Amino acid sequence: MSKINSFGKSDVGLRRSNNEDAFVTDPELGYASVADGMGGQAAGEVASRIFIETVTDVFSNARPGSEEEYLQLVQDAFRLSNERIIRAAAENPSQRGMGCTAEVAVFFTGGYVVGHVGDSRTYLFRSGELRQITLDHSLVQEQVDQGLITAAEARTHSLRHVILRAVGTKEELAVDLIRGKTMPGDIFLLCSDGLTDMVEDGPIRDALSIPEGLEQKVDRLIRLALSAGGYDNITAVLCEIV
């Protein structure tokens, strides 16, 4: 297993009364996760909490050895979370329609696996360059892919929050699985759209470039989102390969 340092933080933002984001990071077991809830009343909070609790259950009780076993764990975390959220919504009418977008990253010797659903994101910061390694499951991203609008237009599009895929909304869930090699010094950023809606990639890269600890970098990212308006809950988790 790769040794990692990690730090995460969630902020309610400046416009919301409750925080529907949730996260977990466990450097000892080498995984991290971010979930952004959606749904009426407090249901979004419930969905994201169920997701993070399920991820914790799955990884705490497993001792994988191979890359394929890590990949299976990520798939299991999404599958079981999807089942639990759907079941909870069926048992509580006030929570019907709830779901969440989510990221799960797990690190092992020389590599990583990321699971992704929705418009939360995972980035890799390596050698001064920032690269988004997930692709948003959103209407505007689909329009960008089709060449109908530009990436710049997508940032301010009126339909930018229309999500095409979420955990807990359908029985069948398609999960994007991304895997790759790690290098010492790599920093992975898992975040909710409360960060990326407010802060473009350039300032995120600049914040990660400053020679300071992970806690200070996370605080800097959240301050950037708050300074830009803080319209949504903001969650950022950093994992650094030692």
CATH number of 4-241: 3.60.40.10
Kindly state the average pLDDT of the residues 57-73: 93
Boundaries of every domain in the chain: 4-241
Quote the pLDDT of residue 125: 98
Is residue 71's pLDDT more than 90? Answer: yes
Write out pLDDT tens, residues 76-104: 999 999 999 999 999 998 898 999 999 99
Angle at alpha carbon of residue 120, lines to 32 and 21, rounded to 5°: 70
User: How many other C-beta atoms lie within 10 A of the C-beta of residue 227?
Assistant: 12
Full-model pTM: 0.95
What is the reported pLDDT for 231?
94
Give the pLDDT score at 160: 67
pLDDT at 152: 74
Please provide residue 111's backbone torsions phi and psi, each rounded to the nearest 5 degrees: -155, 180
Q: Are 38 and 100 in contact (CB under 8 A)?
A: yes
pLDDT at residue number 1: 64
The per-residue pLDDT for 3 is: 85
For residue range 218-237, list pLDDT tens digits in order.
Answer: 999 999 999 999 999 999 99
Q: pLDDT band at 138, cuts 50/70/90?
A: confident
Q: Determine how β-strand 4-11 pairs with β-strand 111-117.
A: unpaired
Supply the DSSP symbol for 32: E
